[in-house]
Structure 1
């Protein structure tokens, strides 16, 4: 069996998973509703809302990636842990004993699902916020590339959350617990910056948020704004978190006994 066949099998599992389909539909509706309402409010109240460095609207709407950071977590955990929850993993491993290939296929599936959702959110932000800003749009005032850069960083943040959540789900083989821990991590990490910026800024949720959130917003929370790392460092740490998580998941997944009926695996 080739990797292409394994990947196709993982894709079919994801596409036929009802909970994943429902979560994706609800996520799309929630993102669109919030983006439309908030963008309309931003234009009515202040067309230049979210300006950074004097560029109107350069970070308008990017905070949606923070508000809805639980969505890629849910998607990734559902894709990864459905077989654990249903007990089908042993059967899958008997059919495809190459555990490394199975994990790689799951990773590709999670990346595609998370990336698709993140790009959809970025498109919504572009269409709603910048579309309504009209002559105040960043594309009309010379800040278009900066805005697109922030959106790309937001997409990378969601991608990192998806990979990290998948890895945690693989290691702990638990759906509800992993969801609770990862969603809590996404939202409760930020207040910890008020305790110690130098230490807690390295948490995945914080370092990811610093890539695209306005510097002023993060500085207002931090106990020591001067200790905050820059965007390049935050991006590097975010990527490092993802790489370490995948390596840890691969070590556990390839060495674990997934079921009494499974005699051996390559």
Structure 2
């Protein structure tokens, strides 16, 4: 497995970095997360800071709600895009061990988003602190540092989850048509419905939002660390499903 994985990683890295659409998605993600987050802080940061339930991470990371779209498109392009471009057959001939093929693909996608988010998150926090001035929570506060790390990990795990789902669907338009409305519209709406509010907290993006908060809300069924565990479980479970489907289905 190890002798196959290294060449597979190299091949997936070359494929991913040679696509201009991947770089465009990463650029949109950074601009969306940092730009929208900073704009929200500049426009309503002072007002929010005076609220009793103020959570600076919720305001600063507001751009992540829109960054989801770029991450989803990137994940789909790296996985289901192979089926649309009819390159999946050549890829599997080059890497016949499908577990290594999937691991390499997930690893490259995760690293690309990890690097982009590791740039966007500190940029957002440092700029937000400069905008808010004395009312801002210091970036060096343990809770804020934990929130920043959680933001980077959450986006990376979300990428892995979306890549796995796209591998299951095997269609670029179908995967985007399912994932974008779900994470951008359906999941946030479910959290507002009292009957399913507690169950909705276990959805990956809602758990990710909880993981980013400095303090849990009264309505949250678990804290930030448990929430990150929920996101990890989603990524692992989807990975098992993608591997099983790739192993038993023809390309």
Is the TM-score greater than 0.5? yes
Measure how far apart 1:172 and its partner are.
Answer: 1.2
Paired with 1:104 and 1:236, the residues of 2 have a C-alpha distance of 21
- 2:87 and 2:34 mapped to 1: Cα distance? 35
* TM-score, L = length of structure 1: 0.82
Moved more, 119-128 or 22-31: 22-31
Cα RMSD of the aligned pairs, angstroms, is 2.6
Q: Deviations over 1:216-242 (max 9, x none)?
A: 8x66xxxxx2x6322233222111111
1:200 equivalent to 2:219? Answer no
Cα deviations across residues 83-130 of structure 1 (Å, max 9, x unaligned)? 111001101111221111111100111111221222222122222101
Structure 2 gap ranges (5+): none
Tell me, what secondary structure is at the counterpart of 1:238? helix
* Alignment partner of 1:240 out of 213, 217, 233: 233
**Aligned runs of 1:132-211 on 2, under 5 Å?**
132-139=131-138, 144-187=141-184, 188-193=186-191, 194=193, 195-211=195-211
> Could you say which residue in structure 2 is the equivalent of 1:100?
99
Contact 1:81–1:175 under 8 Å retained in 2: yes
Following TM superposition, the consecutive aligned residue runs of length 4 or more in structure 1 with deviations greater than 6 angstroms are: none
Q: 1:79 to 1:128 in 2, by over 3 A?
A: same
Partner of 2:70: 71
Which of residues 243, 250, 259 in structure 1 aligns to 2:243?
250
SS in 2 for 1:138: coil
Work out the CA distance in 2 between the residues paired with 1:59 and 1:241. Answer: 22
User: How many residues are paired up?
Assistant: 246
Q: Supply the distance in 1 between the matched residues of 2:27 and 2:74 (Cα, whole angstroms).
A: 11
Asked whether the equivalents of residues 148 and 212 of structure 2 are also in contact (C-alpha less than 8 Å), the reply is yes
> What CA distance in whole angstroms lies between the structure 2 residues aligned with 1:189 and 1:33?
23
Q: Which has the larger radius of gyration?
A: 1
Structure-2 residue corresponding to 1:33: 35
Structure 1 residues 52 and 151: CA distance shift in structure 2, 3 A:
farther
Question: What is the TM-score of this pair, normalised by structure 2?
Answer: 0.86
CA distance in 2, matches of 1:58, 1:199: 23
Where 1:164 maps in the other structure, the secondary structure is: helix
